[in-house]
Structures are given as C-alpha cells and as structure tokens.
Chains A and B, each alone.
Chain A
Amino acid sequence: MEQSRRRFLNSAGVTLVGLMAAAGLLGPDALAAAQWNKAAFAARKLEDLARILGGSAPQQSGDIVFVGPEIAENGAVVPVEITSHVPGTESIAILVEKNPNMLAANFTIPPGTLPEIQTRVKMAETCNVYALVKAQGRFYYTAKEIKVTVGGCGG
C-alpha cells in the first residue's frame, strides 16, 4: 500500500487531472475522460441526467439486474449490485431519486471489464434507486424502491 498525502490546490491554475497525471496516479484512458461532471451531479431528473451525459430519453429495460435489499437498516450505507445485460454497455450510473444530488456514481466500463458493479450509496429517505446504463450511445434504466428505516433506540 502506498499513501499520498500531497494536497493540491485547485486555484493553482492546473487541472486536477493534469496534476494526477503528473503524479502518475491516473492511467492514460481515464485521463481522456476524467473531468468531474458538475452538471451531471446537479441533475434532478433521470431524463435531465441522460441529456447531460449526451443521450436522449432513457428507456426502461429488463436487461439490467438491480440487486439490493428492499429495506435498508440504515440510509448511510445501502449496498447495491448492478449487472447490465445490455450489449455494448459503456457505463453504469446509480441514482437516488430523492437525494439532494440524484446522481451517486457513474462508472465507465471499458472493454474487457464486466458490466457488473457492487458499491454502497447513501439514501436520505425511502425512494426509488435507478441504474442508468449507457450502451452504444443510448440510455436504459431500471428502478428499485428501497425503504430506509429508523433504527436502534431512536436517538
């Protein structure tokens, strides 16, 4: 394991990506794409997000498998597993409908990597969680409602 404690200043007039490249932290493929998409994270609707990511209205698809609990014991950590069977899947995004920022994460899947992601997201309240898949320029999605419960002694 290796730790970098270097801190970079955004205001130094250099892009983060450039700095990471300088530090040898990012592979060349990622560099081409890596620029944090502020607009995408500000999106409030599924359709808006698809548009910001450069596509048209997403279609519901049965080819996306969303595994997650129907009930989360705590909204701070909600495990999700998304598998896309849509041919040519290029990216998988996870969206939480009622979060202040709807988009939680967007994964780019290069050729050779299986379109299958496990991670954990925060949920502010009970709502739909979407998996949004981009394949050959088109967007597809599936949704699952996850209930967030109050727990423990209550305070």
Chain B
Amino acid sequence: MANPMKIRARVDGDVVQVRVLIGHVMETGLRKDAEGKLIPAHYIQLIDVTYDGRSILSAQWGPAVSRNPYLAFKFRGGAKGGKIRVAWIDSTGQTGSGETAVE
C-alpha cells in the first residue's frame, strides 16, 4: 500500500463532484536529505480520470504539485453507481490506480 488513493464521487442534480487524494511523495529532485544528498525526483506526470471508461479529466503534472496530491472537479452526465477510475504514472514509471462508484 505504498500509494494509497481515496476517491469520492457524489452526484448532485446532473453534476457529479469528484475528489481525489493520492498518496505520493512528489519529490522535486531539488530537496536534500539529512546527509545533504539530493533526493531524486519522483513525481506523478500523467493522471487520467474516467467515468465508465470515458475520460472526464486528464492532466500533466510537474514536481510543483504538492505531496499527497489533492484534486477536485465536477462533470455532467454521471449517475449513481457509475464507475470513476483514476490512473496515474510517475516520473520513474511507477503506476497507480483506484476506483469508486458514484454515490
């Protein structure tokens, strides 16, 4: 469970609000550790959110997105029970994904 993820999606009228928290270090590559050595860059670069397979948001991130990223947005056309899926890939090639049903 190195990169836990928490997704909440709630429908209100015809709009679904999606909130995503992703466990990720988002290291810039510019920080030094206690011994003064640079900590290598390690951050999410691509993220994609789908609703029942259709992309509802995608993004390119740099190292300036905060550690343990948070993202919230809204889309139309979703309904209770629909499947929200979040997938990401980071600068080291590591990937992660999570899924939830719209409430």
- Residues on A facing B (Cβ under 8 Å): 1-10, 16-17, 19-20, 23, 25-30, 33-34, 36-37, 40-41, 76-78, 96, 99-101, 103-110, 112-114, 116-123
Contacts and interface: CB of A to CB of B under 8 A. Distances in A.
Contact of A16 (B69, B76, B89): B89
15 contacts: A1-B98, A3-B1, A3-B2, A4-B95, A4-B96, A6-B94, A19-B89, A30-B50, A36-B45, A100-B30, A103-B64, A104-B61, A108-B59, A118-B71, A122-B64
Contacts of B38: none
B60 A121 contact: no
Interface string B36-66: 0000000001101010011111111111111
Contact of A105 (B50, B54, B61): B61
A34 B58 contact: yes
Interface residues of B, number: 48
Contact of A9 (B45, B76, B93): B93
A29 B97 contact: no
A104 B95 CA distance: 20
A101 B45 contact: no
Contact of A30 (B3, B48, B61): B48
B69 to A, nearest CB: 7
A40 B2 CA distance: 29
A101 B93 contact: no
A109 B97 contact: no
B75 A114 contact: yes
